[in-house]
Structure 1
Amino acid sequence: MKLFCTGDLHIGRRSSHLPDTEQHSCADAWLRAADTAIYETADVVLLSGDIINKDNQFFEAAGPLEAGIQKLIERKIHVCAVAGNHDYRALTQFLHGIQGDYLHLLGVDGKWDSVIIEHGGQKLRVVGWSFPSEHVQANPLESFPDTGASDIPTMGLVHCDIDSSGSKYAPVPLGDLKSQHNICFWLTGHIHIPNAYNDTHPLVLNPGSLQAMDPGETGDHGPWIVEINGGVVSQPQQLKTSTVKYCKFDIDVTDWEIDDIKRNIIDEVYDQSQSALLDNDAKIVSARVNITGSTSLQTEMKSQLANTDELKGDGFHIDQINFAITPPIDIELLAAGKGAAAIAARILLSIDAGTLKQEHAKLYEDAKAQMDKAYDANGYELILQNKTDSSEDVAPDEDCVLAALKSQCQRLIGEMVEGSQAK
């Protein structure tokens, strides 16, 4: 049986950080997905929650969502769905208005239930759970029913926050999913970055968002194909259909001349964008550029690159430019000296050596505490309520703290050395 797997459609939203977002709506992505499922001769379309972006965007989502579903069920393709934290109320209300034997909303009110799908002489049981409210702090697998041994292959469909203890969005340890030995395949939702946990049985597939929506959703996005034959599950295959691809590019400007800076940046981003666009349907790259290397022209470069609207090219849009450059100095020699720049140099060396937490424990702890405080601040409550479940929305971890400290040290060294040279 051929399964077409996706989730986190967020119909009602559009890809952001682009000069023209109208061409890249999640509604259009869903309609293309329905056509793709038909083209791929899928037997079942599986939707793992957050199909509608928000309850207050119900009317914007209703037309495209119904059009796609009707197109599928007219061709006798089963559609199995669960509700997520964004559409726990709206999806239930909406799907109950669509009649037919090929549409199955599972797990309403947070109660596991199942449906057996028959196609071409094969059977598949789909067990699903939907969000009963916006926030669920309990692990939904604690109430998972005993499916028992069966000749019918059984898969699970759930919107949950994998390996995120303390989450308000149905936290489920990956080990709990893997321990359900009567399940041959799990399709999950909520995290917008795709990931296939296929090292051990059963396969756990988090398909990621169907359409990449913001710079935190880097990499390829689109639906996945999984085939189940007699309980044997194929390796998942991603169809890279998102019309936007968000990328982070590093560009080393060591030895660059200031007169060539804009042209060189455009050429570098163009080349990296063309590589990123290979083998997928994306039409444009939204790039965040990290300028690295060693140069004495830091101030001039920042001035020339301040207006990203001037840095245009075919197939890409530069959303943001960050600077992580240092003046052409010997960092080890600087670290042997005295003063703030020397201290910053020593911190920088310890970060590169992986010894910061041992050599500068208090600095690390203070930085982590301040970043946690900002993340948990009441002033950001609205941001957290509208979080996109992408990599940029998670609480700051060790890598995040080290990256912030490294950036600040590089900036401090650059500005202090430039300042001393200007005197």
Structure 2
Amino acid sequence: MQSQVLLAGDIHLGKRPLHLPRDIDQYGVSPVELTPAEGWLRLVRFAVEQSVAAVVLTGDVVEEDHHRLEAFGHLQRGVLELVQNGIEVYSVVGNHDVEALEEVTQRIPAFHLVGQGGKWEWVTLSHQSEPIMNILGWSFPKQGIPLSPLEQELPLPPDEKLPRFGILHDLDTPDSVYAPAPHRRLEDIELDGWFIGHKHKPSQLGSDSLIGYLGPLVGLDPSETGLHGPWVLEIDDLGQFSIKQISLGPLRWEELPVAVEKLRGKSDLKDVLRDSMASLHKRLLPQLKGVKAVGCRIKLVGPRELHREVAQRLNPLDLEDLKPRFDEILYFVEGIIDDSRLSLDLERIAQASDPPGLLARQLLALVNQEEDARQLIGEARHRLKKEAASSAWSQLEEIQFTEDQVRELLLQAGFHALKELLGQIEPGNREDVRSWN
């Protein structure tokens, strides 16, 4: 007998995607159709149609505790439909929904929280009354947990010779306040895999590795590019298993590189961008089942001497009505990135002793991830965390400021400053990232 378990990462019910066009409903797509609530509804329908054994969630099911009134209705309807069709629902608590999920499980007993109170717990999943797998889970007892849950003693696994998986909501960063759990330590625990929530970039789960992030059902902003959707874990009678991600999200974000050479001298830049979107659609089509809209962030690439000429002509406001449809899927331009940094000869510029030379040497250290870059990243990270702790930002979702994120921010700012110093763009005319949504 082949059994299926449906896995999903951060759903964030109650939240809506950012940077959608203000007039998107005039093009036949309602913003409501692109929300995590729609993604959850699609997951429920798929689970019922496929008669899966169980649905397993890895936390942050609800966006914030103050969104739980809005989110509760969506969650309750979905869970009840699953249970009525013989599908059990299991979840760990994430940092966003500590109070909300506690309330949900009190009102909906069929919604099982695993590892409540910050204590590891084993549960056995069954299909048609036959046990198929064991899962080990840990839930947030409160929002901020600076200690790793891996410091606790793990309970002994059940006796059944079944596949064993862990579910957790964590961050693979040692100094995180969100239950840091280094993934190298997870590898040492004798489980068949770990399915993790928190980060919104899905890992490449498969035969090579079964430790990683599931990602959200719907990309919530343009940085969350690529395929999003639940994962199907298939288990046979012999305990052999496989996993694959499926496209159920109604919204997809993509970065669309466009060569400036193609745009130079063209009287209508929209034609070039429309053709680029058509090529993107053709490439993505196998992964676009159920997708209603694709948001594109245009990335200008190519010789730097052409960038300023093209960037001055490519006004985002002129592209607001560029919303072509391909196979009934709406495409729109979210913003423009002028990424001419790759064409700068950093090594040549770094040989000088002037300010551009000094900046180029720092950028080279960041690009090559040299030892000198660690101090730059550390200082920037400290300042960013200090600023983020200000009461002015208390209502916004907390940013983790990982080393990779800070490095990328420094690269973006540094290359822009270098172009200004070199006179490639006029000071104050900051057109490297432009968006109108």
Instruction: Tell me the secondary structure at the aligned position of residue 117 of structure 1.
Output: strand
Identify which range, 118-127 or 58-67, moves more after superposition: 118-127
Structure 1 Cα separation of the partners of residues 247 and 143 of structure 2: 30
Gaps of at least 5 residues in structure 1 are: 419-423
1:378 aligns with 2:387: yes
1:293 aligns with 2:302: yes
CA displacement at 1:152 relative to structure 2: 3.9
Structure 1 Cα separation of the partners of residues 276 and 155 of structure 2: 56
1:98 aligns with 2:111: no
Q: 1:416 to 1:241 in 2, by over 3 A?
A: closer
Q: 1:36 to 1:197 in 2, by over 3 A?
A: closer
Deviations 1:93-149 (A, max 9, x none): 12211144xx32111111222332332353133322111001111111222433247
Is residue 226–residue 233 contact of structure 1 (8 Å, CA) maintained in 2? no
1:40 aligns with 2:50: yes
Instruction: Tell me the secondary structure at the aligned position of residue 72 of structure 2.
Output: helix
Identify which range, 31-40 or 380-389, moves more after superposition: 380-389
1:343 aligns with 2:353: no
Kindly report which structure 2 residues correspond to 1:19-30, keeping only aligned pairs within 5 A, or say none.
19=21, 20=24, 21-30=31-40
Is residue 53–residue 126 contact of structure 2 (8 Å, CA) maintained in 1? no
Deviations 1:279-314 (A, max 9, x none): 223222222222122265544433332334525122
Match of 2:231 in 1: 224
1:54 aligns with 2:64: yes
Is residue 58–residue 169 contact of structure 2 (8 Å, CA) maintained in 1? yes
Counterpart code for 1:72? L
Counterpart code for 1:17? H
Structure 2 Cα separation of the partners of residues 220 and 135 of structure 1: 30
Is residue 258–residue 301 contact of structure 1 (8 Å, CA) maintained in 2? no
Structure 2 Cα separation of the partners of residues 332 and 82 of structure 1: 47
Structure 2 Cα separation of the partners of residues 238 and 79 of structure 1: 19
Structure 1 Cα separation of the partners of residues 425 and 396 of structure 2: 39
Match of 1:421 in 2: none
CA displacement at 1:171 relative to structure 2: 0.6
Is residue 348–residue 410 contact of structure 1 (8 Å, CA) maintained in 2? no
Is residue 270–residue 313 contact of structure 1 (8 Å, CA) maintained in 2? no
Identity fraction in percent? 25
Counterpart code for 2:259? D
CA displacement at 1:235 relative to structure 2: 2.7
Match of 1:276 in 2: 284
Match of 1:132 in 2: 141
Counterpart code for 1:236? I
1:302 aligns with 2:311: yes
Normalising by structure 2, what TM-score? 0.80
Kindly report which structure 2 residues correspond to 1:302-321, keeping only aligned pairs within 5 A, or say none.
302-308=311-317, 310-311=319-320, 312-314=322-324, 315-321=330-336
Q: 1:61 to 1:344 in 2, by over 3 A?
A: same
Q: Which of 337, 345, 369 lines up with 1:322 in the alignment?
A: 337
Is residue 85–residue 131 contact of structure 1 (8 Å, CA) maintained in 2? yes
Instruction: Tell me the secondary structure at the aligned position of residue 14 of structure 1.
Output: coil
Deviations 1:391-414 (A, max 9, x none): x87764445534543344345435
Report the count of equivalent residues: 406
Match of 1:176 in 2: 185
Counterpart code for 1:106? V
Q: Which of 238, 250, 262 lines up with 1:243 in the alignment?
A: 250
Is residue 18–residue 221 contact of structure 2 (8 Å, CA) maintained in 1? yes
CA displacement at 1:14 relative to structure 2: 1.4
CA displacement at 1:417 relative to structure 2: 10
Match of 1:18 in 2: 20
Match of 2:7 in 1: 5
Counterpart code for 1:237? K
Instruction: Tell me the secondary structure at the aligned position of residue 242 of structure 1.
Output: coil
Match of 2:200 in 1: 192
CA displacement at 1:23 relative to structure 2: 2.4
Structure 2 Cα separation of the partners of residues 300 and 54 of structure 1: 45
Instruction: Tell me the secondary structure at the aligned position of residue 285 of structure 1.
Output: strand
Counterpart code for 1:82? V
Structure 2 Cα separation of the partners of residues 94 and 149 of structure 1: 27
CA displacement at 1:156 relative to structure 2: 2.0
Is residue 344–residue 412 contact of structure 1 (8 Å, CA) maintained in 2? no
Structure 1 Cα separation of the partners of residues 410 and 169 of structure 2: 29
Match of 1:118 in 2: 126
Gaps of at least 5 residues in structure 2 are: 25-30, 325-329, 428-437
Normalising by structure 1, what TM-score? 0.83
Structure 2 Cα separation of the partners of residues 189 and 235 of structure 1: 19
CA displacement at 1:8 relative to structure 2: 0.7
Kindly report which structure 2 residues correspond to 1:72-91, keeping only aligned pairs within 5 A, or say none.
72-91=82-101
